[in-house]
Chain A
Amino acid sequence: MTPSIANTGAERGAAPASRDDRRLALWTAMLRVGLLGIIVVLFIVFSITAQGFLSAQNIENNARQMAVVGILAIGETFVIITAGIDLSVGSLLGFGGILAAISLSNDLPISLTIAFVLAAGLAVGLLNGALIRYGALPPFIVTLGMLGILRGLTQILGNGQQVAFDVPRFVNFASDSFLRVPNLFWILLAAGIVCGIFLQFTRRGRYAYAVGSNVESARRAGVNVGATLLTVYAISGVLAALGGLLITARQGQGDPNAGTGYELDAIAAAVLGGASLFGARGTIAGTFLGVLLVQIMTNGLNLLNFDPQVARMLEGALIIAFVFADQHRKRLAAAA
């Protein structure tokens, strides 16, 4: 007997399979082209219809605005790939931002402020990861609790008010450009490239997908699940704190309400970019496109004098449409 494990296709009827195969190929292609396609179409439409869409000023503004949410979304992508969720990133951004303002208003040097704020983000991320893994708690609950704790702490630290400081060098960084590209966008690019390489090409990055695919299988295969979860929540925490530094630099003061609701924008961007809340799917490049789509859509509709809420509604509808398309593709793939 010569076995060929591959030829089990003969067990299924060939005719219906080929029709399903074609539909599957169509949906896969649509999803692959979909996000980039919508971005290109929107870009062309707004270039023609929206006055000032292509002005250097507007493009720079867009690049600055998407940097902060983009950085949060990168961290969120890591967490979502492990089938987790991090709801604390918006609050952590606010917390980091207030810490930075307080530190600078007390005349601490910029370098120390940065180190201190990033360390706080790392600590919160590690705490999230440890509670999830070693406390065996659902990520949703742990990070929802952390969302409340950090926002409350931020309000108390800021006394419910803006925290002013006078450090022009720190503030100027956010408004300056390098090679005509805003510094904030360079930071987003750098974070995206480093994180993307880590995720795709290192063992620890690969283990994020393994854990998201099947925790028990990963554990039995010798993957250190605890270390993997600590790593992804730590990355999310550090990036949220970085976002806090940037938003405080951009606004020139510490705002205790900064970042409210950003966790949802970050999750939305990751999901639009192809990340699955069930785990094991998602890329940094996809998330970047997700952030870019929301930014272009919001900006273009704004220039066309639409109510800003229209962009929010469209974003919500797109998320549902994308996830529906992805699920449909999955069902076709399972049937094929």
Chain B
Amino acid sequence: MSAAVSMQAAIEAKRISKRYGKVVALEDVDFEAYPGEIVAVIGDNGAGKSTLIKILSGAVIPDSGSMAIAGQSRSFSGPRDAQRVGIETVYQDLALAPDLDIAANLFLGREPVRKGFFGALDFFDSSAMRLQAEEHLRDFGIKVSKIEQTVDTLSGGQRQAIAVARSVLWGKSVVIMDEPTAALGVAQSSLVLDLMRRVRSKGIAVIFISHNLPHVFETADRIVVLRHGRRVGSLDPKTSTMDQAVSLMTGASVDTAPGGS
């Protein structure tokens, strides 16, 4: 679904600016993502994509501008603040612990403790973790041979899937992904893109950065284009072409009508 006007944005940023010394990373950028839509952020190197998603995920604090999550005004002082309101980020390096098993990775840092006396002693509930992990992976169609497998025995695509599954397990409203297919081959990329669609179908807003325009056009409902720290347009992938996207990214042609926003 593209930009349903009646709906409240899952995340909305207004007039965001960020400077690093004299370098302007972002200037007056508006950004919004609605529940159940996939928004791609594209732009040339140095356009401000990374800074924007770091601000949305709480990792970078903007110099000015405001943010609202599900209509509530918020400001983040760190990624934990963003996580608390249901925003999860899948980093490019995935941030998995390779020597721990799949269930342990899905719950790392947020393990449920057992009830009663043992819970008070910080004992985690491994059977609940395993059951929930299996159910969650099944829910997203992620197949692994054993939930007790350590992550370092998985393929690149499977690892990406586990990282996405973890973000969806905790990110109830927004999942942000940094170059989710950059390290993957053709077959594994399409699995991850399909997984993103399934996340969308749960009513979660998916935001991703990619340099891969075919992936962007295949998956996104809306494309936000940044150039030199400014938002220069918003494209509907159904009605626009990759050439138009490239023109906006590079500034080669200014007469491309920005659609959607």
- Chain A: residues with CB nearer than 8 A to chain B? 1-8, 11, 201-204, 206, 209-210, 212-214, 216-218, 220-223, 279-281, 333-334, 336
Give CA–CA (A253, B101) in the complex, Å: 48
- Taking a contact as CB atoms under 8 Å apart, the answer to whether A201 and B124 are in contact is yes
Which residues of A have CB within 8 Å of B83? Answer: 222
Q: Map CB proximity to A onto B65-84 as digits: 1 under 8 Å, 0 otherwise.
A: 00000000000000110010
Give CA–CA (A42, B110) in the complex, Å: 45
Is B157 positioned at the interface, with any CB of A under 8 Å from its CB? yes
Which residues of B have CB within 8 Å of A214? Answer: 95-98
Give CA–CA (A314, B109) in the complex, Å: 42
- Taking a contact as CB atoms under 8 Å apart, the answer to whether B142 and A5 are in contact is yes
Question: What are the 4 A-B residue pairs with the smallest beta carbon separation, nearest first?
Answer: A222-B109, A280-B99, A213-B97, A6-B143
Give CA–CA (A209, B157) in the complex, Å: 24
Among A3, A201, A203, point to the contact of B195 (Cβ < 8 A).
A3
Give CA–CA (A209, B95) in the complex, Å: 14
- Taking a contact as CB atoms under 8 Å apart, the answer to whether A203 and B153 are in contact is no
Minimum Cβ distance to chain A for residue B147 (Å) = 12
Give CA–CA (A213, B96) in the complex, Å: 9
Among B94, B95, B122, B144, point to the contact of A203 (Cβ < 8 A).
B122
- Taking a contact as CB atoms under 8 Å apart, the answer to whether A201 and B123 are in contact is yes
Give CA–CA (A4, B157) in the complex, Å: 10
- Taking a contact as CB atoms under 8 Å apart, the answer to whether A8 and B187 are in contact is yes
Nearest residue in B to A9 (C-beta to C-beta)?
A: B155
Is B113 positioned at the interface, with any CB of A under 8 Å from its CB? yes
- Chain B: residues with CB nearer than 8 A to chain A? 79-80, 83, 91, 93-100, 104, 108-111, 113, 121-124, 126, 141-145, 152-153, 155, 157-158, 161, 187-188, 190-191, 194-195
- Taking a contact as CB atoms under 8 Å apart, the answer to whether A279 and B122 are in contact is no
- Taking a contact as CB atoms under 8 Å apart, the answer to whether A218 and B109 are in contact is yes
Minimum Cβ distance to chain A for residue B242 (Å) = 22
Which residues of A have CB within 8 Å of B153? Answer: 333, 336
Between-chain CB contacts (< 8 Å), 30 pairs: A3-B195, A4-B143, A5-B155, A6-B145, A201-B124, A201-B126, A202-B122, A202-B124, A203-B111, A203-B122, A209-B99, A210-B104, A212-B99, A213-B98, A214-B96, A214-B98, A216-B93, A216-B95, A217-B94, A217-B97, A218-B108, A221-B110, A222-B109, A222-B110, A223-B108, A223-B109, A280-B97, A280-B98, A280-B99, A336-B153
Give CA–CA (A2, B198) in the complex, Å: 12
Give the one of A5, A206, A222, A333 with max B CB within 10 A.
A5
Which residues of B have CB within 8 Å of A7? Answer: 143
Give CA–CA (A217, B91) in the complex, Å: 10
Known: A5-B158, A8-B188. A221 touches B109 (CB 8 A): yes
Which residues of B have CB within 8 Å of A210? Answer: 97, 100, 104, 108-109
- Taking a contact as CB atoms under 8 Å apart, the answer to whether A8 and B95 are in contact is no
Give the A-B contact count at a CB cut-off of 8 A: 102
- Taking a contact as CB atoms under 8 Å apart, the answer to whether A213 and B99 are in contact is yes
- Taking a contact as CB atoms under 8 Å apart, the answer to whether B122 and A204 are in contact is yes
Nearest residue in B to A204 (C-beta to C-beta)?
A: B122
Minimum Cβ distance to chain B for residue A317 (Å) = 27
Which residues of B have CB within 8 Å of A212? Answer: 99
Give CA–CA (A210, B153) in the complex, Å: 16
Minimum Cβ distance to chain A for residue B215 (Å) = 14
Which residues of A have CB within 8 Å of B157? Answer: 5, 8
Which residues of A have CB within 8 Å of B143? Answer: 4-7
Nearest residue in B to A223 (C-beta to C-beta)?
A: B109
Nearest residue in A to B118 (C-beta to C-beta)?
A: A201
Give CA–CA (A3, B144) in the complex, Å: 12
Give the one of A204, A220, A334 with max B CB within 10 A.
A220
Which residues of A have CB within 8 Å of B95? Answer: 214, 216-217, 220-221
Which residues of A have CB within 8 Å of B113? Answer: 203
Minimum Cβ distance to chain B for residue A333 (Å) = 6
Which residues of B have CB within 8 Å of A334? Answer: 152
Give CA–CA (A217, B188) in the complex, Å: 23
Which residues of A have CB within 8 Å of B123? Answer: 201-203
Which residues of A have CB within 8 Å of B108? Answer: 210, 217-218, 221-223
Nearest residue in A to B94 (C-beta to C-beta)?
A: A217
Minimum Cβ distance to chain B for residue A102 (Å) = 36
Give the one of A1, A203, A336 with max B CB within 10 A.
A203
Minimum Cβ distance to chain A for residue B194 (Å) = 5
Nearest residue in A to B185 (C-beta to C-beta)?
A: A11
Nearest residue in A to B142 (C-beta to C-beta)?
A: A5
Nearest residue in A to B191 (C-beta to C-beta)?
A: A3
Minimum Cβ distance to chain A for residue B92 (Å) = 12
Give CA–CA (A204, B143) in the complex, Å: 29
- Taking a contact as CB atoms under 8 Å apart, the answer to whether A209 and B100 are in contact is yes
